[in-house]
Structure 1
Amino acid sequence: MSFGQGGPSWGPGESGTPDWSALADQSAARNKRKRWLMIGGGALATAAVAAIVATAVIKTNKDDTAASGGKDASQLPSATDLPSQTAEPEPSFSAVQPPPPPDPKDYISDVKKDRAPVSADAFFPGKQLKMGDRVYAKGATNRTTKCAATTQGALGSILVGNGCDQVIRATYSRSGVAVTIGLAVFETEAQAQKTAQQASGSIASLSGSGVPTFCRGGAVCRRTTNYYGRYVYFAISGFTNGKSVTKADKNVFTVGNDLTDFTFRQIRHRGEVQASAAATAPTT
């Protein structure tokens, strides 16, 4: 018994039992043909897609060239040929540097610039002085052009020899300790410096206004000398009961240091005020 192409094939004797070996061979052949057809179709599809992509790339490149006017890259204008993107003017800066601010020390180093009033109240204002938690009562003050009259020992002749213009004195006291500050004024810083270097003797203590005579009659007192600008400032500190000062008397040292620090600040402030006024003055 026999069927057409693709039908079942029976074995010898036509027993009705399928020839399973033959059927398996036929099935394998069919599957093999299908795989080759699928591989071949896939390859053709891949080739077709690649051709489409290549065509798109070529067309895109052609469009880019057309957008630039149909010229190749060698014919395009260079970056230096392109017009500026802004017509805004660029800022310009002056080459002239502004003058430096005035130095405050210049205004207390020469009488030609130091034009502020010179008086006891200008340097030692008010009725008391507060330094931290310490309050000092202000005693007597004095101003004189007779510089030597305000001194003890050799200091008088040194002041006069270096051109002393005047001396201002002020006394402060606290808890049985008093200090007199003597401020000697010169025309130039060079004169003040020379005086401070040569200093010998001391400023004379100034009593009055509640402060008894102190640091006289042989009592040992602490003496200091400093200068700043055209000013030399002296200090003599001691006990108001006439007791001599020793290195262990720290309270006497504290009083003297407070008053000399204050005097220095007053001189410096004088320069700062005058320098500030000069900096803000209108130019003509």
Structure 2
Amino acid sequence: MSFGGPQWPQQGQGQAQGQGQQPYGQQPFGQPQQPGQWQQSQPYGQQQWPSQQPDPFPGAQAPQGGGPTPDWSALAEASAARSQRKRWLLIGGGVVGALVVGAVVATAIVATNKSNDEAKNGGPTATGPAAPTDSATPAPTFSSVAPLPPPNPRDYISDAKKDKAPLSAEGLFPGRKLTMNGRAYAKGATASTTNCAAVTQGGLGSVLNANGCTRVLRATYVKDGVAVTVGVAVFPTDEQALKAKKQATGGIAPLTGAGVGDFCHATVCLRRTNSIGRYVYLTQAGFLNGKKVTTGDQAVFKASDDLGTFAFNQIYARGRSQAAAAAGAPGQ
């Protein structure tokens, strides 16, 4: 395949069949008419291009002295030059195309390698705090099981099966003095007995015995001519203690001794009864001189309030200490 220009005729072919069918004569080659042209053995024939045919080599100079016969050497050189330019254009285009393809492939490889690197390295770092890795310090874990609530102190003072702490008059009413709400009281005698009815007045003894009273502990405190005996009756359960409280009548017998004389005999005194857990606490307050207590005697009422609050606090402290010990014990 040739690029531009006529093809050279081959030897041995037949004569041209007429003007316009074969543009080249089949005569033997002759000598060139101009120096520097192709050296051939025989000149081309003197065939003329038909006037109606377009010039296949526009701009080419006609040979000198030969009439309209084209300068075949010049045409051949021009055709060869054009062919060479086309070859270089094709070669250059192929090289450029190969470079473009290579660049695309290289870009794809780089992108793929980058993607692989990101995949191996865990991808780009996300915004926000980094997730913990195996090499990082493990985060603390917490059990999904809610811890048991701490023991309730009241549970330990409501049932004799749990209320196992030592119980005595000196343990329940410690020291020689008592200060409540800024008021100081001196302690007199203390006592403890399992004969509950023996230390009561009125119908209180029968009520205590009927509800299962097991012990009564007493102590007396004095301040400014006012004496108060506080007693604590103990029952097996809180239900029994509550029932005794509701049925209570009469009062706890005054406790004398340790510098405290007789009081609340054949006179009017202030009696109070309350309960917490399996304990019923009672007070008997009056004047040491035997004076009757009236609603206007605020010193007697305050003394009764102070000693009743003190008894309540002491009983609750028993439950709190036992609950704290149970919470700190192994297996609790």
* Aligned CA distance change for structure 1 residues 68 and 180 (closer, same or farther; 3 Å): farther
**In 1, Cα distance between the equivalents of 2:294 and 2:176?**
29
Q: Compute the TM-score of the two structures, normalised by the length of structure 1.
A: 0.70
**2:15 aligned partner:** none
List aligned pairs for 1:235-274, cutoff 5 A. Answer: 235-274=283-322
* Aligned CA distance change for structure 1 residues 252 and 86 (closer, same or farther; 3 Å): closer
**2:46 aligned partner:** none
**1:29 aligned partner:** none
* Aligned CA distance change for structure 1 residues 95 and 178 (closer, same or farther; 3 Å): same
List aligned pairs for 1:1-284, cutoff 5 A. Answer: 69-70=110-111, 86-88=132-134, 91-217=140-266, 219-283=267-331
**In 1, Cα distance between the equivalents of 2:236 and 2:303?**
29
* Aligned CA distance change for structure 1 residues 85 and 258 (closer, same or farther; 3 Å): closer
Kindly state the Cα deviation for residue 194 of structure 1 after the two structures are TM-superposed. Answer: 0.4
The structure carrying a bigger helix percent of its residues is 1
SS in 2 for 1:273: helix
- The answer for unaligned runs of 5 or more in structure 1 is 1-65, 72-76
Q: Once superposed, what is the RMSD of the aligned Cα atoms?
A: 2.8
Q: Which amino acid aligns with 1:145?
A: T
| Per-residue deviation, residues 17-51 of structure 1 (Å, max 9, x unmatched) | xxxxxxxxxxxxxxxxxxxxxxxxxxxxxxxxxxx
Q: Compute the TM-score of the two structures, normalised by the length of structure 2.
A: 0.60
> How many pairs are equivalent?
216
SS in 2 for 1:226: strand
**In 2, Cα distance between the equivalents of 1:90 and 1:170?**
58
Question: Which is higher, the Rg of structure 1 or of structure 2?
Answer: 2
| Per-residue deviation, residues 199-233 of structure 1 (Å, max 9, x unmatched) | 1111111111111111111x111111010011000
Identity, % of aligned positions: 55
**In 1, Cα distance between the equivalents of 2:168 and 2:180?**
22
Kindly state the Cα deviation for residue 132 of structure 1 after the two structures are TM-superposed. Answer: 3.4
Stretch of structure 1 that moved more, 205-214 or 86-95: 86-95
Kindly state the Cα deviation for residue 135 of structure 1 after the two structures are TM-superposed. Answer: 1.2
Kindly state the Cα deviation for residue 131 of structure 1 after the two structures are TM-superposed. Answer: 1.6
Kindly state the Cα deviation for residue 68 of structure 1 after the two structures are TM-superposed. Answer: 9.5
Kindly state the Cα deviation for residue 70 of structure 1 after the two structures are TM-superposed. Answer: 4.9
Q: Which amino acid aligns with 1:271?
A: G
Kindly state the Cα deviation for residue 90 of structure 1 after the two structures are TM-superposed. Answer: 5.8
Kindly state the Cα deviation for residue 91 of structure 1 after the two structures are TM-superposed. Answer: 4.8
**In 2, Cα distance between the equivalents of 1:122 and 1:114?**
15
CA contact (8 A) 2:230 2:283 kept: yes
- The answer for unaligned runs of 5 or more in structure 2 is 1-106, 113-117, 125-129
**In 1, Cα distance between the equivalents of 2:167 and 2:156?**
13
**In 2, Cα distance between the equivalents of 1:162 and 1:103?**
25
Q: Which amino acid aligns with 1:133?
A: G
**In 1, Cα distance between the equivalents of 2:272 and 2:157?**
21
Kindly state the Cα deviation for residue 94 of structure 1 after the two structures are TM-superposed. Answer: 1.9
Q: Which amino acid aligns with 1:186?
A: F
SS in 1 for 2:322: helix
